[in-house]
């Protein structure tokens, strides 16, 4: 009987977690920021906890991401690209960090 109660408690906790508000980030792949921003903002998967902007010559990628990815990029794993991460809704809209989130740079 206690196993049934445990399963029921896990089901309740899991269902409540599914209703939490997802982070919103701009998601795009383009050659410049204006073209990228035209692709708009999207709800991230529930487990995404960061927004990112990855820039390289003639390309920009904006997406939902993970703090662990941002930490790795900050430690030098970005392969020559510039990686910026922030942690609030639509904070990756601008490359200049005006979106209200904390940014990590590499």
In the chain the domains, ranked by start, together with CATH numbers, are 22-105 (2.10.60.10)
Q: Is the pLDDT of residue 101 over 50?
A: no
Q: Looking at residue 96, what is its pLDDT?
A: 61
The alpha carbon dihedral of 104, 74, 66, 24 has a sign of positive
Q: Which pTM value belongs to this model? A: 0.69
Pairwise CA distance, residues 62 & 17, whole Å = 26
- CA–CA separation, 79 and 30 (whole Å): 19
pLDDT digits (tens, 9 = 90+) for 28-84: 999 998 999 899 999 999 999 999 999 998 899 999 999 999 998 888 756 678 899
């Amino acid at each position: 009987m206690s196993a049934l109660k445990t399963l029921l408690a896990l089901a309740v906790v899991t269902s409540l977690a599914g209703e939490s508000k997802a982070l919103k980030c701009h998601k795009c792949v383009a050659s410049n920021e204006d073209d990228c921003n035209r692709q708009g903002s999207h709800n991230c998967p529930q487990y995404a906890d960061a927004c990112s902007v990855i820039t390289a010559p003639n390309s920009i990628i904006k997406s939902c991401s993970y703090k662990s990815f941002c930490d790795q990029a900050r430690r030098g794993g970005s392969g020559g690209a510039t990686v910026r991460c922030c942690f609030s809704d639509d904070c990756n809209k601008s490359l200049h960090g005006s979106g209200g989130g904390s940014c990590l740079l590499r």
